[in-house]
Amino acid sequence: MAKYVLLGLLLLCNSLLAAAPRVVTLSPHLTELAFAAGITPVAVSAYSDYPAQANGLEQVANWQGIKVERILQLKPDVVLAWRGGNPQRQIEQLQRFGIKVEWIDPQTIDQMIDALAALQQWSPRPQQAIDAAQALRKQEAELRQQYQQSTPVPLFLQFGQQPLFTASRNTLQNQVIELCGEKNIFADSSVSWPQVSREQVLMRHPQVIVMGGDAAHAVSIARFWQPQLNVPVIAINDDWLSRPGPRMLLAAKQLCTALHPTKKNTEKE
């Protein structure tokens, strides 16, 4: 009897695996969202390196475009695309061949979390998507509550060096700053990613510089601003800060802890 029960369970598992939707992700942050939702894509984009399992998957997109013919051969149930990085013309080609495309373009942390929860419809483990989204909402609420009473510190969010770019209020990166209770000196810019000059930055007197990278990069940035500006430079994991995916909450936690080292962060790792 036990043998037949085991056989039945194996057949059921195989049936469930076979029925799992075939998903293609066309950017690294979409790959991260998919895995967080319990989805293992059949193909991903270049630089999809998190989680580690993504490194072994076939790549069908890079900065030059997407491999339309190969995606058609894979017969996905859905392609997850990003307007900020995927060419509209090639996406429309896929759609003309009957491929379903879901655009995921979160402009806020809440939208990113909503997108994760919505992926339950393509997940073989939909509850994982729901649970992951709820966990992120909890982390966001805890950070906001912990740091909302902090005295705002004017900071400069630096991307690049020559030329210099920063982020305005209309970005997820600015929301990371706000979660820590701080003030982005270029939040009032009319464009999302303004190019700024050294003089413009100095005129706004930031007390902290935040950048994506490692400690060695932070040292280089600090030297770039001296002697006119001698302030702390905080290095945040670049992937956490730049990719609009689940690890943005880790970027916020890293930044808040660096800015407020005396505060005990109650969020669990």
**Binding residue positions for cyanocob(III)alamin:** 47
What are the two backbone dihedrals, phi and then psi, of residue 160, each rounded to the nearest 5 degrees? 75, 180
Q: Residues annotated as binding site?
A: 47
Contact 132, 37 (CB under 8 A): yes
- CA neighbor of 259 nearest in space, from 205, 185, 180: 180
Q: How far apart are CA 119 and CA 123, in angstroms?
A: 6
Round to whole Å and give the CA distance between 31 and 13. Answer: 24
Q: What's the chain's Rg over C-alpha atoms?
A: 21
Which of 256, 264, 263, 170 has its CA nearest to residue 208? 256
| Distance of alpha carbon 25 from alpha carbon 33, whole angstroms | 9
